């Protein structure tokens, strides 16, 4: 198939879960013999477009329109006086829309893949040209904003709730307009159906991931070393990390004094919690998944897929995660991960894992089996192909 993929950010460098999902998808489609043309904006203040293009060579035909991302303040002001959500305003970039219009006029495509709700507006010229459009929602944006509102000040709480309501309307419209919508989990698929109604065509296609990768060979301090991957920019992740450091880690460190928590993605912090070490985002993800470490995933947001868990499984590291993360991955406590809610529960899980080598091995084996069963790239691409054909055939009816 000839696939036009419109995204809000480039898949390389794969420095966050969203980019990694996109990169793995492009690689899987290319390996299956499909021709992928990518349109994704590059803000030269933060990324070198030539370096991005170089790393995408052989994977796809990349069109990288230069943009200057809208500032937060101007986006907020526009959002307050409009019905358009602020995240949509920030990512609705005219150079992307113009590039889509140009490429669609110059080339023939079988289907358009819009990556994320924010990219749907950019795909408008393709829809106007009569091409079938598949929307892939990596998460339910309105659910994220609703969740985030719980932990904001009274003033910000109101803003977040208003944005969540606007996003729910926007998302429902996107899903109804798309020929088919893809969700990464069945829980997100159900949430999108609730927003868009029963007539919306929504399919679940899991995130692709390599079944086995090598763990890092440079050990980190700690018995055990516990890893958390943080993000300064993504609010749900940032909140979860700070709550873990402030509320959960002190109890873990009390029962396991030799343990050390390594937070990747925040190189400097005023926090002086005992047993916590802060690291910048690793140049290579292998460095954040060293052999012998445990990966902690305390995320509490109700949507999306924690890609860091898939990478931990692939690299043979055991995972201790929140019930929300387990639900998103359809993982079972004691089989693919240990599921822990609250400080005491998390501390007990860490002690169990530390004192039971057999449990460690069982979780590693279970994680890799889950990758093989649900996230194998060939299986995922076969599902994507079926969805693309569904969109194409739907237009012919």
DSSP code string of 161-229 = HHHHHHHHHHHHHHHHHSSEEEESSHHHHHHHHHHH-TTS-EEE-PPP--S--PPBSS--SSTTEEEEE
How much is the pTM?
Answer: 0.92
Residue of 180, 188, 190, 191 whose CA lies nearest to 135: 180
62 is written with which tokens? Answer: 């990349």
Between CA 382 and CA 385 the distance in angstroms is: 5
218-237 per-position pLDDT tens digit: 999 999 999 999 876 666 67
Mean pLDDT, to the nearest integer, of 67-92?
77
270-310 per-position pLDDT tens digit: 667 899 999 988 888 999 999 999 999 998 887 889 999 99
197 is written with which tokens? Answer: 């109604």
Between CA 17 and CA 305 the distance in angstroms is: 8
Same domain, residue pair 120 and 53: yes
Same domain, residue pair 336 and 314: yes
Contact at 8 Å (CB) between 237 and 230?
yes
Which range marks the domain in which residue 82 is found?
A: 2-208+376-396
Quote the pLDDT of residue 395: 66
172-181 per-position pLDDT tens digit: 999 999 999 9
For the cut 60, the answer to whether the pLDDT of residue 396 exceeds it is no
Same domain, residue pair 95 and 238: no
Quote the pLDDT of residue 39: 98
Question: Is residue 84 exposed (0-12), middle (13-18) or buried (19+ Cβ within 10 Å)?
Answer: middle
Same domain, residue pair 320 and 385: no
Between CA 376 and CA 209 the distance in angstroms is: 6
Between CA 347 and CA 345 the distance in angstroms is: 5
Quote the pLDDT of residue 148: 83
Same domain, residue pair 128 and 159: yes
Same domain, residue pair 114 and 231: no
DSSP 333: B
Dihedral sign computed on CA atoms, order 60, 63, 67, 69: negative
DSSP 315: T
Helices (DSSP H) in the chain: which residue ranges?
Answer: 17-31, 49-56, 72-80, 86-91, 94-106, 117-120, 124-128, 141-149, 154-177, 186-196, 235-243, 249-255, 307-314, 323-329, 343-355, 357-370, 377-396
**Cα 218 versus chain centre, distance:** 27
Q: Is 214 part of any domain?
A: no
Same domain, residue pair 189 and 93: yes
Same domain, residue pair 262 and 175: no
Same domain, residue pair 367 and 391: no
- The CATH number of the domain holding residue 89 is 3.40.50.2000
140 is written with which tokens? Answer: 């339910």
Q: What is the mean pLDDT of the chain?
A: 92
């Amino acid at each position: 198939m000839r696939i036009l993929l419109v995204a809000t950010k480039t898949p390389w460098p794969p420095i966050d879960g969203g980019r990694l999902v996109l990169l793995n998808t492009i690689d899987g489609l290319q390996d299956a013999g499909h021709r992928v043309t990518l349109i994704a904006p590059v803000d030269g203040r933060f990324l070198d477009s030539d370096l991005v293009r170089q790393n995408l060579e052989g994977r796809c035909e990349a069109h990288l329109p230069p943009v200057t991302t809208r500032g937060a303040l101007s986006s907020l002001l526009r959002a307050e006086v409009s019905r358009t959500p602020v995240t949509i305003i920030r990512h609705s970039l005219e150079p992307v829309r113009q590039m889509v219009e140009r490429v669609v006029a110059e080339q023939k495509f079988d289907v358009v893949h819009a990556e994320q709700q924010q990219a749907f507006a950019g795909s408008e010229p393709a829809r106007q040209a009569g091409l079938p459009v598949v929307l892939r929602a990596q998460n339910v944006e309105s659910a994220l904003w609703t969740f985030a509102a719980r932990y904001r000040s009274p003033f910000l709480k109101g803003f977040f709730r208003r944005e969540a309501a606007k996003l729910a309307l926007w998302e429902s419209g996107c899903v109804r307009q798309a020929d088919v919508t893809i969700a990464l989990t069945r829980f997100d698929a159900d949430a999108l159906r609730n927003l868009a109604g029963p007539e919306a065509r929504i399919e679940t296609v899991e995130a692709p991931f390599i079944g086995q990768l090598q763990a890092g060979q440079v050990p980190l301090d700690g018995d055990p070393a516990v890893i958390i991957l943080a993000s300064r920019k993504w609010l749900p992740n940032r909140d979860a990390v700070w709550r873990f450091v402030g509320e959960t880690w002190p109890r873990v460190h009390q029962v396991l004094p030799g343990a050390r928590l390594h937070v990747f993605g925040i190189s400097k912090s005023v926090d002086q919690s005992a047993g916590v070490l802060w690291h910048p985002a690793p140049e290579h993800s292998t460095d954040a998944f060293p052999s012998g470490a445990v990966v902690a995933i305390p995320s509490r947001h109700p949507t999306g897929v924690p890609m860091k868990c898939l990478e931990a499984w692939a690299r043979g590291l055991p995972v201790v995660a929140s019930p929300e993360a387990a639900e998103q991955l359809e993982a079972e406590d004691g089989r693919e991960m240990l599921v822990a809610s609250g400080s005491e529960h998390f501390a007990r899980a860490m002690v169990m894992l530390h004192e039971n080598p057999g449990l460690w091995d069982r979780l590693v084996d279970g994680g890799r089996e889950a990758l093989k069963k649900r996230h194998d790239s060939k299986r995922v691409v076969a599902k994507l192909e079926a969805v693309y054909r569904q969109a194409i055939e739907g237009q012919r009816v």
